[in-house]
Structure 1
Amino acid sequence: MTEKRTHPAVERVEAALAAAGVSSDVVWFDDSAKTAAEAAAAIGCEVGAIANSLVFALDGEPVLVMTSGAHRVDTAFLGRVLGGRLARASADVVRAATGQVIGGVAPVGHPASVRTWVDTALADHPVIWAAAGHAHTVFPTTFDELVRITGGIPTPVVGD
């Protein structure tokens, strides 16, 4: 991890966090942390404490699923839970919906509201880490705070 830097997408995330009453503690890495494993190694935490921001299309509408880095979203299961067809969004859809690129998508700081679901497995960790708008950034939060700042709906994302 290194000194504070700046980037327009990160500045939008910091502004959204501040507007939500969250003190912004964005951490910059020297190298990118595009995967949960890379982020966990750089932070020194369990991979399950990484909150991956994944954009899907739910019947064609971009939606955000905040999932634990410890597992993959079961799209068939979650689609049934959400009452529609869930498919991975293209890089272009991700950027249009969030203003950010894959590997650095934050849970906040998007051009418009994105319906969000938050993996209940993240509640197992007292501190979770989410991307802050750039592949070299993360910020610490809690499950309850993540649900609050995203307006997300807690839900399991993996079937039994």
Structure 2
Amino acid sequence: MSFVRDIAMSYRAPRTVVRRLLDMGEREDRAFAILMGACVVIFVSRWPALAREAHLKQTELNPLLGGSLFALLFILPLCAYLLAFVSHLFLKLLRRKQTAFGARLALFWALAATGPIYLLVGLVEGFVGDGAALGLVGVVWLVAFLWIWVSGLIEAGRAAA
């Protein structure tokens, strides 16, 4: 199935999508590509907010973009790997059968699948600014992210059993 269809299906049946990704085999390059794709989408979603900030503060946009690029394409992947490892250890403590790859794939796919909502968050932040609209869209993103991530962790645990 195509990447876009998998993203759309993740909002209805995230476990099915994660199951299909797990059935393709444990390929770290595929998981890393999913993570980096999500990081690029998050980076692009930050552009309107950074442009707004540069305009309002009368500063240069390029240093803001450079800092965001470094944070989102170099630091965020490291943090994502750490968070996936911590979630794997937490599930092991709960005596859930879980592989580290399954925990990574569930987190990385949740980041990638919620990319369209995060693009909307960036647009609202860039064009409207802080306020109720940004809070509402942020909550929608968080709920969707947690829904897809937890569902993916459950499916990864079932696949490992």
Higher fraction of helix? 2
Q: After TM superposition, is the score higher than 0.5?
A: no
Between 1 and 2, higher relative CO (CA 8 Å, sep ≥ 6) is seen in 2
The two structures have a TM-score, normalised by structure 1, of 0.30
The two structures have a TM-score, normalised by structure 2, of 0.30
